[in-house]
Amino acid sequence: MVRAGYWLWLALLAFSLPEVFAGTGAGWLTRPDVYILGLPLYALHLLLLCHIAAKTGRTSWPALYLFGLVFGLYETWITKVVWAGYMDADGFAMGGIGPWFGLHETLGLVLFYHAVTSFLLPLAVLTRLFPAFAATFPAPDWIFGPTRWALARRIGLALLWGVISGHNMPDVRLYLISWVPMLLGLILGYRLIRDTDAARPALGRAGQWGAVLGLVVIYVGGFLLLRTEAIPPAPALAITLALYPVLALLIWQQPPRLPSPRPPADHPARMPFFWLVVVFLIGLASSVAVLTGGAAVANLSVVPFVGMVPLGAGLFVWLVLWRGLVRKA
């Protein structure tokens, strides 16, 4: 029972951080598509990528960031956002990189949002909460640590995600019914499953192949059934396919790291959950401000939205090109 609870808790963590933060998971508790597509999509990606990283020893920050880029490329095959723009927009949000790839949809969404919010952030939470993850992956001190840099990242990312979440859910009631069940599920659920031995980054043989099969079904079904009018011509498909061996090669050339067991910190759950509550409160204030302040306040959300583009480009240059290829650190 506790083991099943852990998998459900992890699925909630993997789905809710990127989707509730972005507002695309608004009202998730009563939406069938969340249970059919959203929760399995995010949970299986997180589980399989953590498994591959743990089994190969590719757990340096450049390698983990590259795994996050692999994660983000689902936005091509399933949602087609990278190829055709956001579903509620007419074309690309900020222009394109050539005719087939959106500038914001690629640099902001793949290189920043999914790499960080969909992969590195849930992984930091897991590493903070469960000793098996802490023994395998780098410390989550980049955001949950005691340094000034970690504090600056916590504040900056809380503001960015809070403003985006509130702006995309200006109905306060919708905001509350999206956030409150998520927070209660994560905080109270962790109390029930924190001592389980199921919280391990490496999957068993059945879990590994189950994750692969599940993702194959999701990708094939999503590609053939969702936004079929947005499927680009063959050259764009070929370019997208070519990105996978390039990312795999970049990951593989990172030197493997051996696990380094270390005792869990005192009160390991305090920081991630406290920080999530801070993001929630910032988003709530943003939602109220958009509702009452009109267009002038709503336009403030342009700042974090546009800011994701240089953040994504900067992360790629720093982690992949500089630390991954030049310094190899």
Q: Which two tokens stand for residue 156?
A: 């900056």
Q: How many Cβ atoms from other residues are within 10 Å of residue 73's Cβ?
A: 18
Token output for 95:
């222009």
pLDDT-derived band at 3 (thresholds 50, 70, 90) equals confident
How do the domains of the chain map onto residue ranges? 2-258+270-327
pLDDT digits (tens, 9 = 90+) for 42-86: 999 999 999 999 999 999 999 999 999 999 999 999 999 999 999
Which amino acid, residue 110?
V
The pTM of the full predicted model, rounded to 2 decimals, is: 0.95
Separation of alpha carbons 170 and 179, rounded Å:
13
Which helix (H) or strand (E) segment holds residue 295: the answer is helix 295-298
DSSP strands (E only) in 15-98? 96-97
Candidate from 33-42, 85-94, 223-232, 275-284 with smallest mean pLDDT:
85-94
Q: Are 104 and 5 in contact (CB under 8 A)?
A: no
Q: What is the pLDDT of residues 160-180, one digit of tens each?
A: 999 999 999 999 999 999 999
DSSP assignment letter at 263: P
pLDDT digits (tens, 9 = 90+) for 144-159: 988 899 999 999 999 9
Q: How far apart are CA 289 and CA 218, in angstroms?
A: 38
CA dihedral for 97, 99, 101, 103, sign (positive or negative)? positive
**Rounded to whole angstroms, how far apart are CA atoms 109 and 86?**
10
Buried b / exposed e over 103-120, threshold 16 CB at 10 Å, is: ebbbbbbbbbbbbbbbbb
Task: With beta carbons less than 8 A apart as the criterion, state whether 114 and 105 touch.
Answer: no
Query: Which pair of structure tokens corresponds to residue 12?
Result: 């909630």
Q: Give the C-alpha separation, 248 to 242, whole Å.
A: 10
Residue 269 identity: A
Helix orientation angle between 2-22 and 172-193, rounded to the nearest 10 degrees: 150
- Cα(285)–Cα(276) distance, rounded to whole angstroms? 14
220 contacts 77 by C-beta, under 8 angstroms: no
301 pLDDT band (50/70/90 cuts)? confident
Give dist(CA 319, CA 136) in Å, integer: 19
Quick: pLDDT tens for 171-207.
Answer: 999 999 999 999 999 999 999 999 888 899 999 999 9
CB 308 within 8 A of CB 112: yes
Distances (CA, A) of 255 to 123, 291, 315: 20, 50, 20
Structure tokens at 61: 């920050």
How many degrees, rounded to 5, is the angle at CA 192 between CA 20 and CA 162? 20
Task: Name which residue leads in pLDDT, 75 or 303.
Answer: 75
pLDDT band at 259 (very low <50, low <70, confident <90, very high): low
